[in-house]
Structure 1
Amino acid sequence: MAAALAVTTLTAGTAPPATAATPPKLPRKLSGMAWASGAYMPEYVPSAQADFGKQRGARSDVAVTYSGRANWGEISSPTWLWHTWKDARQTLVISSAPFPEVGGYSLAACARGKYNKYWRTFGENAARSGMANRTVVRLAWEFNGTWVAWAAYNPVHFVKCWRHVVGSAESKAPGLRWDWSVNRGIGDALSDATRAWPGKKYVDYVGIDSYDGYPAVTTKAGWDKQLNGNQGLRYWARFAKRKGKRLSMAEWGLYPGYAWKGNGGGDNANYMKKMFGFFRENRANLAYEAYFNSPDPAHAGALSLNPKARAEYRKQVRSAIRLAQVKK
């Protein structure tokens, strides 16, 4: 619902129409915490979110998922996700590629509107599912990094692509919400991620992906760099406010796995404490946050694998629940 677009037919190369954005409703707070909170769970089913809720002592408000990105069918028709979550109460966040990773697709072609028909199909499927008003699309996440096929080496192409995608999808499902999500810090693909800002009419949330590494929060200096460094957490929190948008964190967590060997903080309770401090500081403008609860050895951030951090996480969740009760 970022663009509040009129229902219209969009042709390739035609810039999608846009009107003034309407602030979206926040995800419902099933957790009882002072802000909406949830998780990524590798099992994309409501029962996994229920298990996570039991682990931490608070239900999930948000379920972060990923659609496939090998072909257009996986991107434009993730109907299995909507079917799976239709009867659940969480807000569904779908992390979606703007085009398939293989097959010669590109930001430049997307910027010319070449893929509009696929995104109209996405909108049609979202509307048909009845889930559009409960779905956040985290489109082209971490675009300032080099590891994604949609890396914004050319930010003009990225902006035009984003606008075509949002316009096309919302022509069929205006209730969708859109999360413009950067990777914390200076990106290797785009050093100033603000150059890829699509405009407030096309965005609902300003998102940050951030983990305990590069640098790890094992020292005061490490946390200060994550928080106050160039394009750090506070930078993006302030950016969201300036744009009149709420902040989101669809990916955050520990990173003890082998992929970041020597650069992650391990089973780091201090990281949990500091991140919850950041959430409290920004709770008035925090749309949602979701812990990345992955047991994959490359990442190994699952709470079940990190007992010290898990204990601190549970403690901080209880504190966030008490904070919500005080506000009442």
Structure 2
Amino acid sequence: MRLRSWLAATSVLAAGVGGAIAVQFSASAATSTIEDTSTTGVAFAGTWAACSGNCAKAADNSFKWTSTAGSSVTVSFTGNQIKLFGMTEPWDNFATVAIDNGATTDVDFYTPAVSATTVQVYSSPALTQGSHTLKLTMTSRRNPASTGGSSITFDKAVVTSATTTPPPATTYVSGLPWNSGVGPQDQSTARVTDFVNLRGAPVDNVVLFPARDNWSVMSAGWDIASGLPSGFNAAKQDLVATVPLWPGDRSVGSTGSQADWQGLANRIKAVDANAYVRLGWEMNLPGWHWKVGDGTKNDYDGNLIPDNRAQWQAAFIQAAQWIKAAAPGLRIVWNPNYGADQTCTNCTRTIFQNVKQYVDVYAIDTYDAWNPDLGTAGTSEHIARLTDTMNYAAANNKKWAIPEWGLGCNTSGCQWAGHAGGDNPQYIHDYLTFFKNNSANLAFESYFDEPGSYIRSALSVTPIGPNAPAKYRADITAYKVS
């Protein structure tokens, strides 16, 4: 969010217990493969060459490569999803992918080391079952770390085609077909209970913030388990741990030792071995001391934010590596605030491309402000935010999430006065409906339930008005599948 007062969390929240056991369902589907050697369904344009000397890296001992910008391959297929496979290498370029001649999406073929085999480089979002085309085109652009040559490769496309009507989606303890939870403020068991009572359903996840003054309170001093109810079941519910890239007593060049990070990872793992970790979240907001900058923008006090992109990226990679080494099941979430980066110029997605191999989920925080979801234009803007996030995550082979979303008060004294929707049931309905309709790759969503006067997003206590809470409860009730 653009600005948020911090309430230190000394009491950690809890998920509501009870409800349906999470049951996984999967749609009936068939897959087919279109190889680079296929005589139908694939058409190369420009300059392409057959592999030589490393063909065994492909299952069928064949793939093609190009070093000519503008060269393309078009795959014609029938199905509802397509995945591309090729080599990833230290000298590779960006390519673009377009489905059915639509908008293009970047695909980065760069990795620090040559992949041992051909690997998945792109996955389309869910498509309408039917006939489609995909066009992969090499560009002259490259990842800043890519040096020493230029190329992209095409090994094969794997197409998924629905064969029957899918059964109901995953049912969580909430009874909803998606993972739905809360970020309760002031992060107490009582506040989670308030939210559970308001919506008439347990929560599937809870977002926690540790105190973050220094490593002592952030790691050793964060007694997560003492804030969780006896009924919290990590097999059915998720802890979403929100941690800065460095606490208040550190700087970008000194983010913490291996012992610091692995101690924190072990404390999180002890509560939920596959918890989500929002590492360095909202790094594009000027108010956080772990912000990333490029030397072009100021913080809220008017001070120039230095260019720390290289150090920031290195710190993120190191922290993620140490976390995963101690707790391999923890899932790293990349989580900027949605919109133009306020601390730099288009750097969060650039850095994401360089670190995405360490990331499990691509997420945004998005509130009913700048601009609010009011009228047709407001709905279009907010659906575009969600759609862009979902599609960008899919294009990079990641799940997507919305760890913070909520109302914003619109009167004097509120942080978004004049730019927020207030008691806005339309915003609530649009988001819940989008989650329901696009749950297949949604990792989780968590409502930011904050009664504080700077935002008043809370639905469960002292809400801005009666309409949004009533709509939230009604939609949750309507969208339950169990």
TM-score normalised according to structure 1 size: 0.81
Q: Secondary structure at the match of 1:133?
A: coil
Q: Secondary structure at the match of 1:182?
A: coil
Residues of 2 paired with 1:208 and 1:240: CA distance?
11
Is 1:70 aligned to 2:213, yes or no?
yes
Post-superposition shift, 1:146?
Answer: 1.4
> Retained in 2: the 8 A contact 1:69–1:97?
yes
Higher RCO structure, 1 or 2 (CA under 8 Å, sep 6+): 1
Post-superposition shift, 1:142?
Answer: 0.8
Name whichever of 264-273 and 44-53 sits farther off.
Answer: 44-53
1:39 maps to: 182
Q: How many residues in Structure 1 have an aligned counterpart in Structure 2?
A: 291
Task: Work out which of the residue numbers 388, 392, 397 in structure 2 matches 1:235.
Answer: 388
Q: Deviations 1:30-56 (Å, cap 9, x if unpaired)?
A: 100010101111243444323311211
Q: Deviations 1:260-305 (Å, cap 9, x if unpaired)?
A: 1111100001111111232123211111111111000001111131
Task: Work out which of the residue numbers 155, 162, 180 in structure 1 matches 2:334.
Answer: 180
1:59 maps to: 202
Residues of 2 paired with 1:82 and 1:167: CA distance?
24
Name whichever of 282-291 and 89-98 sits farther off.
Answer: 89-98
Q: Deviations 1:156-185 (Å, cap 9, x if unpaired)?
A: 333211111111122222222211111111
Post-superposition shift, 1:131?
Answer: 1.9
1:126 maps to: 268
Q: Look up the equivalent residue of 2:212 and give its one-letter code.
A: R
Is 1:81 aligned to 2:216, yes or no?
no
Post-superposition shift, 1:86?
Answer: 7.0
2:253 maps to: 108
Residues of 2 paired with 1:162 and 1:74: CA distance?
20
2:148 maps to: none
Structure with the bigger percentage of helix: 1
Q: Secondary structure at the match of 1:300?
A: coil
1:300 maps to: 456
Identity among equivalent positions (%) equals 27
Is 1:93 aligned to 2:240, yes or no?
yes
Residues of 1 paired with 2:245 and 2:229: CA distance?
24
2:146 maps to: none
> Retained in 1: the 8 A contact 2:171–2:178?
no
Residues of 2 paired with 1:43 and 1:28: CA distance?
28
The alpha-carbon distance between structure 1 residues 170 and 263, as it changes in their structure 2 partners (threshold 3 A), is: same
Q: Look up the equivalent residue of 2:387 and give its one-letter code.
A: R
Q: Look up the equivalent residue of 1:176 and give its one-letter code.
A: L
Q: Secondary structure at the match of 1:236?
A: helix
> Retained in 2: the 8 A contact 1:132–1:175?
no
> Retained in 1: the 8 A contact 2:224–2:267?
no
> Retained in 1: the 8 A contact 2:207–2:240?
yes
Post-superposition shift, 1:227?
Answer: 2.9
User: What stretches of structure 2 of length at least 5 have no aligned partner?
Assistant: 1-111, 121-169, 294-307
Q: Deviations 1:90-140 (Å, cap 9, x if unpaired)?
A: 311111112122x3x222344xxx53331122123334xx22414221111
1:318 maps to: 477
Structure with the bigger percentage of strand: 2
Q: Look up the equivalent residue of 1:313 and give its one-letter code.
A: Y
Q: Look up the equivalent residue of 1:205 and give its one-letter code.
A: V
> Retained in 1: the 8 A contact 2:183–2:207?
yes
> Retained in 1: the 8 A contact 2:404–2:446?
yes
2:259 maps to: 117
Q: Secondary structure at the match of 1:107?
A: coil
What's the RMSD between the two structures over aligned residues? Answer: 2.4
Larger Rg: 2
Q: Look up the equivalent residue of 1:152 and give its one-letter code.
A: V
TM-score normalised according to structure 2 size: 0.56
Q: Look up the equivalent residue of 1:95 and give its one-letter code.
A: T
Is 1:196 aligned to 2:362, yes or no?
no
Q: Look up the equivalent residue of 1:170 and give its one-letter code.
A: K
Residues of 2 paired with 1:199 and 1:179: CA distance?
11
> Retained in 2: the 8 A contact 1:184–1:233?
no
